[in-house]
Amino acid sequence: MNLRVLLFAGIAERAGTREWPLLDLEAPLTVGALVQRLERDHPFLRSVPYVVARNQAVVRADEVLSDGDEVALLPPLSGG
Amino acid sequence: MNLRVLLFAGIAERAGTREWPLLDLEAPLTVGALVQRLERDHPFLRSVPYVVARNQAVVRADEVLSDGDEVALLPPLSGG
Amino acid sequence: MTVAPDARKQWHHLTRAPIDVGALTAQVADVEAGAICTFLGTARRHSEGKEVNLLRYEAYPEMADRVIAEIVAAAQARFAGAKVAVMHRLGDCPLGEASVAVVVAAPHRGEAFAACREVIDTLKTKAPIWKQEEFRDGTAWVGDPGSFQPRRDA
Amino acid sequence: MTVAPDARKQWHHLTRAPIDVGALTAQVADVEAGAICTFLGTARRHSEGKEVNLLRYEAYPEMADRVIAEIVAAAQARFAGAKVAVMHRLGDCPLGEASVAVVVAAPHRGEAFAACREVIDTLKTKAPIWKQEEFRDGTAWVGDPGSFQPRRDA
C-alpha cells in the first residue's frame, strides 16, 4: 500500500519538505497507527500540535487507510 | 417673532410647499402651541404622523421657541 | 440660473452621485486595523410584494449631516480603535445601487461588525431622510401610509 | 519551466493576486437584495505588540477551496435568499491589504450581517490555511509557538 503524506506551514518547515511518500506499507493501517509510525520516524512531530486529514477531510484515529490515500498533517489553522 | 417651518417628504407633498414662513407671532410660544396653530391652519396635519425639530434637533412640546428658530416637521423616517 | 439649496453646500455624509465605496474604505483603512466591515443598503425591486421602478431619497440635509456625524462620533467613542465612514445617497437611486454605505475599520472583527451594525441601525431611526418608492402606478413615501400619489399620466 | 502546483489549477476561493472586492460584490449583487455586508480581514502592522513587516499565507489548496465552498453552501442554505462570495489571498500580503473577503447579499440586513459573521468565523476554524508573520528578526507561523525562525542574514 502506498500513501502520500502532505506537510504544511511549520510542519513542512521543520521537516524540510512538503511531502513524505510512503511506499509498500502493510495493510490494514489505521490513521492512529500511521501517526505512531510518523512520530517514531520524525520525533519533532511529538512536540507540534496538528490534526490529520485523509483525502481532504479531517479524520479520526481509528479510520482505516486505503492504497493511494492523500494524508495531510495540519498544524493549527490561522487563515482569515 | 418670526419662524421658518420646513416641510419634507409626504408633508411637503400634501402642503404643496417646502416651507411655511410664519411672521409676527406673539411670544412666548411653545412648540406645542405652534403645532396646535399649524394643525388648525392645515388640517391635513392631524392625520399625518410627524415629530418636530427645532434648529435641527428633535424637541419636546413644552420647549419655548425663539425669534428666528428653524422648525421642521419630520414625517416617519425611512433612510438607509 | 437657480441653484437648489443642496447644491450650494458640501455635505460630509450626503451625496447625489453614486456612492464610492472604495473612497470611503480608503478613509478608514489603517495598518493598525485587522478588520473592515462594510454595510451597503441597496435598492430592491420588491417592497412588500409590490414592484418598484426606482427609489428616491430626500433629506433635511443640515440636520441629517449633523445627526450622521454624531452617530459616527458615538460609534468611534464606544468601539476603541474603530474608524467609521458613512455616506447616504439623495435623489434618484436606481435598482441595485447603494442608497447608504457604512464602512468600519477596527483592530478586530468583533468591534468592526458590532460598530457597523450599530451605525446603520441608529442611522435608520435618527437621520431625517425619507425614501420614496416609485411604482408603475404612482409613488409613496415609506412609512407614511396616506402618501400614495397616483401617477398623473397613468 | 517548472510550474508550481497552485498555478496549474483554478481555485474558486483562493488567489495569489490582490483581492478584487468589487468583482466579488458583483457576483452576489441582485435587485432582490436590500443589504450587502462585506468583511475584509486586513494585514495589521502589530501582532501581540510585535511589529510585522509582511504576512504570508499558505494553504492546502484542494482542501481549502472545498471547505470554503461547503461553508458558502451551508450559509446560503441557512439564510434564505442570501448569496455569498468568499476569496482568500495566498502568498505575500502587504500591510493594509486584504487577506480575506466575505461578501453577502441578502434581502434584509439582519441575515446579511449574520451570514457574513458566520462565514468568516467558520472559515477561520475550518479552512486549512496558515498565516506566517514576518518580523524584522525572523518569521513565525501564527498559533504554532515553536515555529519561530530567526532571519538568516540578521
Is residue D5 classed as helix, strand or coil in its secondary structure?
Answer: helix
Record: contact C100-B80, CB cut-off 8 A: yes
Q: How far is C40 from chain B (nearest CA, A)?
A: 9
Collect the ranges in chain B with pLDDT lower than 50: none
Q: What is the pLDDT of residue C49?
A: 86
- Residue C86 β-bridge partners: C102
Q: Mutation test of the interface with chain B: which of C48, C142, C152, choosing the one with the most B Cβ atoms within 10 A?
A: C142
Question: Over the stretch C1-42, which tens digit does the pLDDT of each residue have?
Answer: 444 555 557 899 999 999 999 999 999 999 999 999 999 999
Cell representation of residue C95:
435598482
- Residue A73 β-bridge partners: A7, A52
Q: For residue A71, is pLDDT > 80?
A: yes
Contacts A8 to D, Cβ<8 Å: 58, 60, 128, 130
**Average model confidence (pLDDT) across chain A:** 97
Mean pLDDT in runs of 10 for chain D (154 residues)? 56 98 96 96 91 97 98 97 98 97 97 98 98 96 94 75
Q: What is the pLDDT of residue D7?
A: 56
Q: Mutation test of the interface with chain A: which of D60, D65, D131, D152, choosing the one with the most A Cβ atoms within 10 A?
A: D60
Nearest to C42 among D34, D43, D44 (CB): D34
Q: Which of A4, A1, A41 is nearest to A21 (CA)?
A: A4
Question: Over the stretch A41-55, which tens digit does the pLDDT of each residue have?
Answer: 999 999 999 999 999
Nearest to C63 among B49, B56, B80 (CB): B56
Question: Over the stretch C44-75, which tens digit does the pLDDT of each residue have?
Answer: 999 888 999 999 999 999 999 999 999 999 99
Question: Would you call C24 an interface residue with chain D, using a CB distance cutoff of 8 Å?
Answer: no
- Do the beta carbons of residue D99 and residue D23 sit within 8 Å? no
Nearest to D41 among C35, C43, C95 (CB): C35
Nearest to A80 among D62, D123, D147 (CB): D123
Q: What is the pLDDT of residue C1?
A: 40
CA C89 vs. chain centroid, Å, equals: 6
Q: What is the pLDDT of residue D85?
A: 98
Q: Work out whether strand C50-59 and strand C91-94 pair parallel, antiparallel, or are unpaired.
A: antiparallel
- Do the beta carbons of residue B10 and residue C147 sit within 8 Å? yes
As a whole number, mean pLDDT of residues C115-137 equals 97
Burial group, residue A77, by CB count within 10 angstroms (0-12, 13-18, 19+): buried
**Average model confidence (pLDDT) across chain B:** 97
* Residue in the block written with cell 490513521: A31
Question: Would you call C52 an interface residue with chain D, using a CB distance cutoff of 8 Å?
Answer: no
In degrees, rounded to 5, the angle at the alpha carbon of residue C139 between the alpha carbons of residues C137 and C142 is: 135
Helix boundaries (H) for chain C = 5-8, 21-28, 61-78, 109-126
d(CA C41, CA D34): 6
Nearest to D124 among A47, A75, A80 (CB): A80
Q: For residue C85, is pLDDT > 60?
A: yes
Q: How far is C71 from chain D (nearest CA, A)?
A: 18
Q: Residue D94, preceding bond cis, omega within 30 degrees? A: no
Record: contact C36-D36, CB cut-off 8 A: no
What does DSSP assign to residue A56? T
Q: Work out whether strand D149-150 and strand A19-22 pair parallel, antiparallel, or are unpaired.
A: unpaired
Record: contact A77-D126, CB cut-off 8 A: yes
Is residue D133 classed as helix, strand or coil in its secondary structure?
Answer: strand
Q: Mutation test of the interface with chain A: which of D147, D148, D151, choosing the one with the most A Cβ atoms within 10 A?
A: D147
d(CA A70, CA D58): 18
Q: Which of C60, A69, C97, B3 is nearest to D34 (CA)?
A: C97
Q: What is the pLDDT of residue D2?
A: 45
Q: What's chain B's length in residues?
A: 80
Contacts D109 to C, Cβ<8 Å: 39, 41, 117, 120
